[in-house]
Structure formats: structure tokens, C-alpha cells
Amino acid sequence: MSDATTTDLYEVTMALSYLREGLTRPATFSLFVRDVPPDRGFLVAAGLESVLGCLSGFRVDADDVEVFASALDRPPDDAEPLLGLTFTGDVRAVPEGRVVLAGEPLVEITAPLPQAQLVESYVLNQVNHQTTVASKCARCVLAARGHPVVDFSLRRTHGTDAAYQAARLGAVVGFAGTSNVAAAHAEGLPAVGTMAHSYIEVFGSEEEAFRAFARAHPGPVTFLVDTYDTENGVATAVRVLKDLGLGPGCAIRLDSGDLGALAVRSRRILDAAGLHEVSIVASGGLDEFAVDRLVRSGAPIDTYAVGTKAGVSADAPYLDSAYKLVEYDGRPVMKLSSAKVTAPGRKQVFRRPGYADVIGLHDEPPPPDGEPLLETVMRHGMRDRPGTRHSRLDEARGRFAADLAALPADARRITSPVAPKAVLSRPLTELAARVRRRIEREILAGTG
């Protein structure tokens, strides 16, 4: 069984019907987010790497046919038309790491209709989840205002694949490391971590625990100081660090309580002991809102470790994304349902200064100050520019850093941000009007 079966049943029923009816001409589907969630001033495009990985190896094999037939409660022969189906289409997309707005196509897939339909659920799943998490992590970086942010989300994400993605996406938007060893190794990221409270509890005292940890890990160490009494824990850490001659690169970690107040008192103890170079790491239920408050308060925290709330994007855990047919066999189509009208035709997004973006047709000339965002990333089922995993991550980092720097201040705010809004170009608006009139005539003729 392959990734081909990671789809909703209605994708299978439609694909089989298309094949039966001979509806196999090229179709274009456009994936976009209808609205930016509350407390979001922007989104970060992500998930494309997973999508391209799936599409480049997509094939319906005999085991998949058996699975489809079982799901349909029909004989295997009834699902046989899907056997051997591969993805042979083209993909145009906004590259990972770019800042995007509501309504803007993130991915457009053009392929024979059954192929483009069958991959819908997988494509939506990956882009929806990863764009959600990348956007949350980006706001954590903004809130930290230059302080390092690291990923501690592995134990709380919705599955290990989601944890891996969170670690990678954090790196795209500027995280300094991850506690996830597998992700750190695969993506070439710094692995970060200290100890748990259970480690302290195993030993007879905090001092014994700290000394044992330092023996096992020569060099810079980070001590977790809040297992029992935080200020006493800091004092104990100071004594051990000074006895062992440790200092530069070492840190203490605060994981509970009033982190701001505890950081102030901890910094005072460290400085009084002459350990000015020992830094303070804070963790424990942090997200961009908490980090923003701590930074604004002047808390002497050097590094922020974000976990649960960032890894699952707790305050906005999903996007209202859609994958809609916009063209079939060269004929533009659109949906007219109330509150869910879609624009017809293949599209391009033109990024203009100040994020005065314009959504236009794919072949219309760009405005004089407009930069096209969608690029061709797959042709005839083959990646256009394969590259390496690490090079693609580095490129995504660079794109995000450049886009974030140009983002309007109102959109960058952590509280009450104002998201820029894209507008439709005149050619796209005129096409939508023509297609609407055609559909309305066809409906009228059908009822006459």
C-alpha cells in the first residue's frame, strides 16, 4: 500500500468515474487559504517539499487497487482502471519560506483530471498543516526580537511526522535548533537539550545531579534549576560551575513559575558570582504571546524554548484552505456557492512593494513593480530543480528572511496584527465576470 491510498474516498469515486467517462484531459486545481486566522498578519508557505516528494513517486499499484476496492465494498476488478496511474502533471507553486496572504494560490496542479483529483487530499493535508505550523513558528521568532528560539515540541505534536515537520519548519523561519534528534540529524540542525526533572529526582540532591551530569558531558552544560526551589537551584548550579571551572557556553534552564521574575532573580545570583557569561534558557508552555510579554518586560532571558503551543499551533490549529478546480481542458471554471465563490483560470501572484499583492492570470504581464511568486517546480511528473535537502532548506530560510524584513509593521505585530489584502487584477476580474455569465446562461438554459 502506497501514499496513493492516503486520500478521501470521494477522490477515488470521482477518479474512477472520470476514467469511465473518458474525462482525462488536463485539469488545473488551485490551492489557497480563504482567510488568515485571527491573530495572524501573514502566512508562511510550507509543505511543498512533502508534496513534491509524494507526486514524484506517485503510483497506484496492485495493493492500492485492493485497498480501494475494499473501501468501496466492490470486487477488485471494479477498481482496476486505477492500476498503474502515476502523476505526470505540472506543478506551479510559491516556494517554501515565502510570506503569503489570504486568497493567494500557494500551489496550482495541472494534470490529467483523474490524477489531479486523486492527489487532492494528500496535497491539502501537507500544505495546510505545514503552513499552519510555519506561520506560528515565524511569530515566535518575531516575538523573541533577536533572542534564539529552539524547538521542544516532539513530545506534544500530533505524531512523529508532525514533530519532524515542526523541527524543520522552525529552522526555515529562524529557529536556532531542535530537541528532535532524528530531525536534527536529517536536516543538519543543531540538536539542543538539557535534562528532565526526573534526572534531578534520581539523585540525592541537586548538587549531586549537576556534578554527575557534568562528568558525563564535559564542556558547556545546562542545568535545570527549578525542580525544588528555583533560587536554591541556581545557587547550587553556581557552586558546581565554579568548582568545575565551567562558565562560557553554560546555562541554566527555567521551566515553570513566573519566568520573568525568576529570570531576574537568577540573573542577579549569577552576576553576583561573576558568572556573567552563563545564560538563561526559558521553557514551559511558551508561544509567541508569552515570549512577547517576557521580552517586553525586559526579562533577562537569553534563549526561548517553545514546544506544545508552537508545534500544534494551539491558538489557530488549522487553515481554511481549499483545492478548487479552476480550469478543465482549457475551459475556465468557477464555483458560485454563497460565501465560497472561487476565481477561474490558472493564476499568478504579483508581489508589490508593501505587500500590495495582485492576484492575476498566469499569462498576464506583471505590473511594473510586481514580482511573480508562483514558480514551475515540477514538469511532467519530474521535479524541475531537485537540489539537495540541505540546499532547499537554506534557500527557504533565505526567502523567509527577505520576505519578513519587507513585511509591513502592522502585519508583524504579535497582538492585533493587520494582514495585508491581495486584490484581483482587471483581467482576472473580467474573466470571472465572463465565466459567471456563461454559467448563469447554462443554468437558465437547463431549467428552461
Tell me the C-alpha distance between 303 and 294, whole Å.
11
Per the listing, cell 504581464 goes with 365
Is a pLDDT exceeding 90 seen at residue 448?
A: no
Is a pLDDT exceeding 90 seen at residue 336?
A: no
Domain 136-311 architecture: Alpha-Beta Barrel (3.20)
Contacts of 307 (CB under 8 A, 6+ apart): 151, 152, 153, 155, 156, 283, 285, 286
C-alpha cell at 445: 438554459
More reliable by pLDDT, 219 or 188 = 188
The per-residue pLDDT for range 303-325, each reduced to its tens digit, is: 999 999 999 999 999 999 999 99
Q: Count of residues for the chain? A: 448
Strands annotated E in 334-399: 347-351, 358-361, 371-372, 375-379, 382-383
Does residue 377 contact residue 361 with C-beta atoms inside 8 Å? no
The per-residue pLDDT for range 261-299, each reduced to its tens digit, is: 999 999 999 999 999 999 999 999 999 999 999 999 999
Task: Enumerate the β-bridge partners of residue 224.
Answer: 253
Domain with CATH 3.20.20.70 in the chain: 136-311
C-alpha cell at 8: 478521501
Task: Enumerate the β-bridge partners of residue 121.
Answer: none
Q: How confident is the model at residue 29 (pLDDT cuts 50, 70, 90)?
A: very high
Domain 22-55+88-133+319-447 architecture: Alpha-Beta Barrel (3.20)
The per-residue pLDDT for range 386-395, each reduced to its tens digit, is: 777 788 999 9
Residue 82: closest CA among 63, 69, 65, 67: 65
The per-residue pLDDT for range 211-232, each reduced to its tens digit, is: 999 999 988 999 999 999 999 9
Domain with CATH 3.20.140.10 in the chain: 22-55+88-133+319-447
pTM of the model: 0.95
What DSSP letter does each residue of 96-133 carry, written as one string? TT-EE-TT--SEEEEEEHHHHHHTHHHHHHHHHHHHHH
